Amino acid sequence: MALLRAQHQVVEGGAIFSDPLAVPITGRSADVIAQGARDFPQFAGIRQYIAVRSRFAEDTLADAVMRGVRQVVVLGAGLDTFGLRNPYAGKGLRVFEVDRPETQRLKQVCLKKANLPVPAALTFVGVDFERQSFLTQLSLSGFRTEEPAFFIWLGVVVYLTRKAVADTLAAVATLPDAEIVFDYGVPPASIPQPHRARYEAMIARAQRNGEPWRSVFTPEEIAGLLTRLGFSHIEDISPNVVVARLPLDREIKGGGGHILRARKVAASGG
């Protein structure tokens, strides 16, 4: 995923989503990254989808910061760079990256090799999503459960069990004012041909790489779950809807990925 984010910067000039640290954190040169894109042209669609979901998440976060949110949690952060770039650090926005300890150790190595310092406003929180309460671990790391928070959860849901997905959303829903942006996959049977074949090939490729998809949802299932948990302001959209809002003349090929934002507002909130 990190390489695909970097490819978007090199091949498409960050047209959808600009991230000046996407290339450095990979430890590879722009030429090598561009060659990777030429060698695997079949990944162009997923590369652009990754850029779209990041753009939507950070645009939505910008709105949250404007209304006073000062905590953002990146669930399953991987080599995401927002915590390093954080344009709202001067406003007091703290970033908590939650991921598996082994993934965070790899990231620390990448940061050291790229000579990228860890900002004071960024905190790493090691969690096993299937076995630990991430809110408990967050609280131990300085996260304030009584204050509004924004959650970014990208590229993770499909790899978790349905129970783990529901438990994570339920945990976020315990906060008095929380907003979350995440993406999820729909059942292949709901995708029309020829997009379905590409979608199924992507799922099979993940299986071969040892990262099987464990859960998919219909939009109705996700909406029902979020509503039962008390979320409102639910917006479930396709990548092309996001692109249509931008000054771009392009279309994301393929299908199957949905991007969703939902907010659970405090009783006295708006």
pLDDT at 29 over 70: yes
Query: Cβ–Cβ contacts within 10 Å for residue 145, how many?
Result: 14
Is residue 149 situated within a structural domain?
yes
Residue 269 falls within a domain, yes or no? Answer: no
Torsion of CA 208, 209, 211, 212, to 10 degrees: -10
Instruction: Kindly state whether residues 9 and 86 are assigned to the same domain.
Output: no
Print burial letters for 83-103: b (CB count within 10 Å at least 16), e (below 16). bbbbebeeeebbbbbbbeeeb
> In the predicted model, what is the mean pLDDT of the chain?
91
Name which residue leads in pLDDT, 11 or 191.
Answer: 11
Rg (CA), the chain: 18
Question: How many domains does one find in the chain?
Answer: 2
106 contacts: CB under 8 Å, gap ≥ 6: none
CATH number for position 48: 3.40.50.150
Q: How far apart are CA 56 and CA 196, in angstroms?
A: 24
Do 96 and 208 belong to one domain?
yes
Residue span of the structural domain in which 249 resides = 42-264
pTM for the structure as a whole: 0.93
Q: How many CA atoms lie within 13 A of 191 on its CB side?
A: 22
Res 172: pLDDT:
96
Which tens digits make up the pLDDT trace of 129-140? 667 789 999 999
Q: Tokens 């970097």 sit at which residue? A: 6
Same domain, 7 and 125: no
Cα–Cα distance, 209 to 185 (Å, whole number): 18
Residue 185 shares a structural domain with residue 213: yes
Q: For residues 253 and 112, which has the higher predicted lDDT (pLDDT)?
A: 112
- pLDDT of 45 reads 82
Has residue 3 been placed in a domain?
yes
Are 24 and 98 in a shared domain? Answer: no
Query: In terms of domains, do 34 and 134 share one?
Result: no
139 and 46 share one domain: yes
Q: Tokens at residue 266, please?
A: 């405090």
What is the band of 257 on the pLDDT scale with cuts at 50, 70, 90? confident
**Helix, strand, or coil here: 264?**
strand
Q: Are 1 and 78 in contact (CB under 8 A)?
A: yes
- What b/e sequence results for 60-81 when a residue is b if at least 16 CB atoms lie within 10 Å of its CB, and e otherwise? bbeebbeeebbbbbbbbbbbbb
CA distance 155 to 75: 10
Residue 207 CA, distance from chain mean position: 20
Burial class (CB within 10 angstroms; exposed 0-12, middle 13-18, buried 19+) of 236: middle
How many secondary structure helices (H) and strands (E) does the chain include?
Answer: 10, 7
What band does 19 get if pLDDT is binned at 50, 70 and 90? very high
Is the domain of 14 the same as that of 76? no
Residue 254 has pLDDT above 70, yes or no: no
Are residues 35 and 6 in contact, defined by beta-carbon separation less than 8 angstroms?
Answer: no
Residue 270 lies in a domain: no
Establish if 13 belongs to a structural domain. yes
State whether 49 and 12 are in the same domain. Answer: no
Same domain, 67 and 86: yes
Q: What is the pLDDT of residue 256?
A: 66
Classified as helix, coil or strand, 265 is: coil
Q: Which residues pair with 178 in a beta bridge?
A: 149, 264
Q: Which neighbouring-strand residues pair with 75? A: 98
For residue 131, give the 3-state DSSP assignment.
Answer: coil
Residues 146 and 35 in one domain: no
Asked whether residue 96 is assigned to any structural domain, the reply reads yes
Q: Write the pLDDT tens digit of every residue in 214-252.
A: 999 999 999 999 999 999 889 998 777 776 776 665 666
| Domain shared by 33 and 84, yes or no | no
Mean pLDDT along residues 187-194: 83
